[in-house]
Structure 1
Amino acid sequence: MAADSKTIRVGVLGAGGRMGQAVIAAVLADPRLKLSGAIERAGHASVGSKLGGGLTICSNPAPLAHGSDVLIDFTSPDALEATLDAVCEGNAALVVGTTGLGAAHHKMLDRAARTTAILQSANTSLGVTLLMSLVRQAAASLGPEWDIEIAELHHRDKVDAPSGTALALGDAAAKGRGVDAARVAVRGRDGVGKARRAGDIGYASMRGGTAAGDHLVLFAGDGERLELGHRAESREIFARGAVRAAAWLAGKPVGRYTMSDVLGL
């Protein structure tokens, strides 16, 4: 559905969660956008709640896709297939900020992107988007003799580890070196084992408190270290990035996009 020349209609999936509430607030604060509706899974306590402006949180994404230019999705991997069916049927674009996606989910996104515009990112922060570009450049410039370690801290309720952002940073480093990220990944070390292999990319995950998300990429060389990092102080930065992505994506041709496209990196 083509975006109106004056107002872009945006629907929010996962409206009952903390990220969903932050996205709704960001949509309402952006004069370019109009909140077209909100969705939460069936049985969630927020279904039926009033949003104002005559809107109610519902559980079926299909009608919302028909009445929106873009949907923003911060739900769960299990909900992705139904969401993709809805946007393809309703001809709405989709911004996916859901984390924990696997290879099967990315295949679904690839198929759906043949008929609609989809932007998927493990982290919609503009700062993290720039960080990924810097990590890729540093990995390409410094070479494999520099060891790469990625550490991340999130709130106690986050269930996936390493975080999607940490894995995306590892992918960026691997691309900079021209290697397969899965082949060189080391997730956690315990006990007495083999020494570190040259070229490995290590991951360390910490969970506690209310941390919105800290990420550090360490390049350790002989006699020197380079540290590239980002600290999220609130969920609003992800919401603002997702809203900026939605405004950018409205009216774009079918295909898969990333936050790097939004920033022109």
Structure 2
Amino acid sequence: MNKTKQKKTRIAIAGAMGRMGITLIKEIQKNKNTILSAALVLKNNPFITKDIGEIIGIGRVGVLISDTLDEKQHDFDVLIDFTKSSSTLKYLKQCSMLKKNIVIGTTGFSQEEKSIIQSYSKKIAIVMSSNFSIGINLLLQLVQKTTETIGDKSDIEIIEYHHRNKLDAPSGTALSIGEAIAKVMNWDLKKQSIYSREKNKKIREQNKIGFSTIRAGDIIGKHTVMYASDGEQINITHIASNRHAFSKGAIQAAIWLHQKKIGLFNMEHVLSF
């Protein structure tokens, strides 16, 4: 029996003229399983009603830049959002009303905002991740295994590097790494974390996770997890040299999410770890 051929996933992009939005659009155009359905920007953008492909330099694609998520104008299956928390919540509400699924790559949500996202997952399907790179998700697996083995014998430090324009600190990915470690160690991450040492004049405490944040230049993303003990240390590092790793992962998540009805998922679900 021949398997039914899956329809292409129609994707809307929020923040279409941002660095991540442009990378996502270019990746969608190359992927044989996806179609770009909408390119969304903020109101009063001077390029509204222009062809997004012409504006970002890939030639006409037949999708006009818009400031409105309208099902009549933009028929889509999944929205991918890498904007900011306030915009994401606005798009999330609209997707819920339209019964459309959403991939969320925005970070920096408060606990209250995370609860709102959780509530919407009872109505639509959501993939939410602090990092869509396959490499970072493999790093999380390595971190869990390493923590199981030597977590109680090591001083654990998470060092993250990003470009000068990144607002949230520590990064969402660094916090996800910390959460993975805390879960293995059965720690409360808020109580076990060290974010600043300028007023801490005592020696390093055990059973703590130290966070260091670097913002400089145009660094795409680098995360190192250090396990240090007397006489040796283990460093697990992931470096993103461009945004393609994130866009490929987000598009893979959108294709996977296309067939889902409701629920809150992450990249471990998508990659079947």
TM-score by length of 2: 0.91
Query: Relative to structure 2, which stretch is displaced further, 70-79 or 43-52?
Result: 43-52
Identity of aligned residues (%): 34
1:123 aligns with 2:131: yes
Aligned partner of 2:265 in structure 1 is 257
Report Cα offsets for 1:149-202 as digits up to 9, x if no partner. 000111111111111111111111111111111111111221551222211101
Select the residue among 153, 167, 170 that pairs with 2:161: 153
Aligned AA for 1:183? K
1:209 aligns with 2:227: no
Shift of 1:130: 0.9
Report Cα offsets for 1:228-264 as digits up to 9, x if no partner. 1100000111111111111111111310100111111
In the alignment, is the contact (CA less than 8 A) between 2:37 and 2:74 conserved in 1?
A: no
Aligned AA for 1:11? A
CA distance in 2, matches of 1:65, 1:249: 22
1:82 aligns with 2:83: no
Q: Which runs of 5+ in 1 are unaligned?
A: none
Query: Relative to structure 2, which stretch is displaced further, 205-214 or 139-148?
Result: 139-148
5 Å-filtered alignment, 1:129-208, equals 129-190=137-198, 193-208=201-216
CA distance in 2, matches of 1:104, 1:64: 32
1:23 aligns with 2:39: no
1:110 aligns with 2:118: yes
**CA RMSD, aligned part only?**
1.7
Aligned partner of 2:81 in structure 1 is 73
Q: Which runs of 5+ in 2 are unaligned?
A: 53-59
Secondary structure of the structure 2 residue equivalent to 1:10? strand
CA distance in 2, matches of 1:28, 1:172: 34
Aligned AA for 2:32? P
Query: Relative to structure 2, which stretch is displaced further, 202-211 or 57-66?
Result: 57-66
Report Cα offsets for 1:122-141 as digits up to 9, x if no partner. 11111001111211221122
Aligned partner of 2:12 in structure 1 is 11
Secondary structure of the structure 1 residue equivalent to 2:28? helix
TM-score by length of 1: 0.94
| Runs of 4+ off more than 2 Å | 43-49, 51-54, 61-66
Aligned AA for 1:56? L
Aligned partner of 1:242 in structure 2 is 250
Query: Relative to structure 2, which stretch is displaced further, 14-23 or 98-107?
Result: 98-107
CA distance in 2, matches of 1:137, 1:45: 50
In the alignment, is the contact (CA less than 8 A) between 1:66 and 1:90 conserved in 2?
A: no
Aligned AA for 1:84? L
Report Cα offsets for 1:46-100 as digits up to 9, x if no partner. 4333123431111122438972111100110111221111111111111100121
